[in-house]
Structure 1
C-alpha cells in the first residue's frame, strides 16, 4: 500500500517545529498585552493551546475564540493573532476586516499572496509547513511551535517536544488502540486544545467516534463511555483516581508525558484507522482545504 500524503506530512513535524522555533517574525504578542487568538477548526484548537500557554507563562490575559464567535462587543484587545492555513477562510477574513486598523493583527498562514496577507498588519508565512492533504497536521502544530517558542522557556520546550515526537513516530502503535471502537482524549491547560485536535483528526480522517474533555471533567459524566474496546487517552498527567475508574469499566488507558508528541501519535492512529476502514485519509468525505462561504 502506498504511504498517504498525510502520513508523510505528519512525520515531518519535528523538523518543522525546530525550524519555526528559530524564527522571530514581527507582530508577535508583547509581554503584558491583552491578546485574542482566533482560528477555525484545527486552527482554533491551536489557538486554545497557545492562549493557555501564554497565560501560564505570565505574559498576559489571552483568550481564544473560533472566528465566527469572536465577541465583538468586548473592549478592544491589544493584539489579535489569526491562524489560517489557507488564508482564504471566510470567517477569518470577515473578522479581520471588522476589527479595522486600530487593532494590531498578526496572521500566521501557510499561503503567501492570499487575502489574509492583505487583511492583517503583519504576517508570518510558514509555506514550507503547508500540506497537500486536506487534513491539517504539520502546519497547525508548526504555527503553535512558532508562537510557543517566543514565550519564556518556549524554545527549549519546542526542542524537547520535537525529540519526543521523533520517538512517537518511531514506536509501534498499540494494537488495542488501533482496533478500538471509541476514543476519548483528555488534557489539562494547553493540552486540552491538543486533545480536541486529536479527536477532530480521528473524526476527519477515519469517521470515528471520538470525544475530548478537560481531564478533570471526565468523571463528571463522560466516564460512562469507558468500557471494553474503548480508549481513554490522556495528553499529560492522569488525575488521581482516573486510571482506576477506567480499569473498573474495562477500558484501555493510554498516557503520555508530552502532549504534542501524543498528538502526533494520535494522528498516526487516525491514518491507520482510516486506511483499515477503506477511507482516504488525504481527502476525507465532505471536507475541503478552506471553507469559503458564498452569499
Structure 2
C-alpha cells in the first residue's frame, strides 16, 4: 500500500462531506429545535475526546456568541469522573456528545453517567447512525464524515461545520447565510491548500512547530497541532496567541515554525505577536481570511477568503491547508500517515 493512500483523499473529500452534512441537517431540523435551539437548558455542555474535544471547544465558542447562551466544552472523562467540578449542580443541562465513531468509551461512559439524572438531557453528533452514541442519544449524523484512516480530517471538518450550521439555524438568517457562503468557498480552498502545503514541506525543515489561535481558533490550533504529531511524529505545541508571549515564546529560535490562525476580531493584536516571533528568527506562516500590507512580513500566507464572514463561520476553512501540511511533512519523513504508531481509530478503555 502507498503511504497516505487513505488519508489523502479524505482530506481532499471534505468539501463533499460539508455539503452532505448541510443537506442532512435540513432533514434533521427537529433535532435543532429539540436540543440546540431549545432555550429551556441553562447550559449546553459539549464533550469529546482528543480531536472531538477540540471540536467541542469550537462548537461551544460558536454557541455562546451566536445564541448568547451559556455553553462549555470538556473532555468526556471530566463528566463521568469529575462532573460536579466541571458543571455546577442544580442546573438544567444539555449534554452533547461528540464522537466520529460514536464508540469512544469515554463519551459513552459520560452519557451513561448522567442518564438517571433528572436535570440532564443527552444528544450527540457522529458519523455513524448505528453507533453506541446514536443508540444512547438522538444524534446529528455527518453522512460523508466516515473515514478509513486513523487520523480525523474530513470527519472533523464536517462534524464541526454541521454543528455550527445547527447553531446557525437556531440563531437566524444571518448565520445561515454565512454557513451557505462557507460551502461555496470550501472546495476552492481545499484545491489550493495541497500545493501550498507541499511547497512549505518541500523547501523547509523545522525542529520546532507552534500553532497559535484565539477564540474559536484556539480549538483549531490544538487540532492542527495534533494532526502534525499524529501523522509525522513531530513534537509541536499550541497556545492562545497572546498567551504565547507569557513565557513559552522563549523556545522560539531559527528553525521554529510559528503558524498563526489569524482572526479578524483580534487581527491587529495577533499580527503583532507574529511579527515578534519573526524577529526572534521563526518562520511565520499565517492562515487568514485575506492578505494585506499588515501580513507582508510573514514568510508564507494562505488566504481562505470570506473576510466578511464571522470568524466562527470561517473556522473549517482554516483546516485543509494545515491538515495537508501534517500529511506532507509525514511523507517527507518517510512516515505513513494512514497508520500512526500507537494509535487506533477508536479509543476504548
Instruction: Report if TM-score (shorter chain) is over 0.5.
Output: yes
- Could you report, residue by residue, the CA deviation over 1:244-281 in whole angstroms, capped at 9, with x for unpaired residues? 21121111111122442222111001111111111111
- Could you report, residue by residue, the CA deviation over 1:187-216 in whole angstroms, capped at 9, with x for unpaired residues? 111111011000000000110121111111
CA distance in 2, matches of 1:211, 1:157: 31
Q: Is the deviation greater in 101-110 or in 207-216?
A: 101-110
Change over 3 Å in CA distance of 1:249–1:278 after alignment to 2: same
The correspondence of residues 72-151 of structure 1 with structure 2, limited to 5 A, is 72-73=83-84, 74-75=88-89, 76-101=91-116, 102=118, 103-120=120-137, 122-150=138-166, 151=168
- 1:77 positional shift: 4.2
3-state SS of 1:254 partner: strand
Q: Is the deviation greater in 54-63 or in 39-48?
A: 54-63
TM-score (norm 2): 0.78
Name the residue aligned to 1:194. Answer: 220
- 1:154 positional shift: 3.5
3-state SS of 1:57 partner: helix
- 1:119 positional shift: 1.6
More helix as a share of residues: 2
Change over 3 Å in CA distance of 1:176–1:6 after alignment to 2: closer
TM-score (norm 1): 0.91
Name the residue aligned to 2:60. Answer: 51
Which residue, out of 22, 30, 37, partners 1:30? 37
CA distance in 1, matches of 2:183, 2:248: 31
The answer to whether the Cα contact below 8 Å between 2:97 and 2:124 also exists between their aligned partners in 1 is: yes
Change over 3 Å in CA distance of 1:187–1:60 after alignment to 2: same
Q: Is the deviation greater in 262-271 or in 157-166?
A: 157-166
The answer to whether the Cα contact below 8 Å between 1:86 and 1:109 also exists between their aligned partners in 2 is: yes
Is 2:296 aligned against 1:279? no
CA distance in 2, matches of 1:114, 1:2: 29
Which residue, out of 245, 254, 265, partners 2:276? 245
The answer to whether the Cα contact below 8 Å between 1:149 and 1:157 also exists between their aligned partners in 2 is: no
3-state SS of 2:323 partner: helix
The answer to whether the Cα contact below 8 Å between 1:6 and 1:133 also exists between their aligned partners in 2 is: yes
User: Moved runs in structure 1, 4+ residues, more than 4 A?
Assistant: none
Change over 3 Å in CA distance of 1:226–1:77 after alignment to 2: farther
CA distance in 2, matches of 1:254, 1:160: 25
The answer to whether the Cα contact below 8 Å between 1:80 and 1:104 also exists between their aligned partners in 2 is: yes
Change over 3 Å in CA distance of 1:78–1:2 after alignment to 2: closer
- 1:2 positional shift: 6.7
CA distance in 1, matches of 2:327, 2:103: 26
CA distance in 2, matches of 1:57, 1:77: 20
- Could you report, residue by residue, the CA deviation over 1:61-107 in whole angstroms, capped at 9, with x for unpaired residues? 11000001124223244311111111211111111011115322112
- Ranges in structure 1 where 5+ consecutive residues have no aligned partner: none
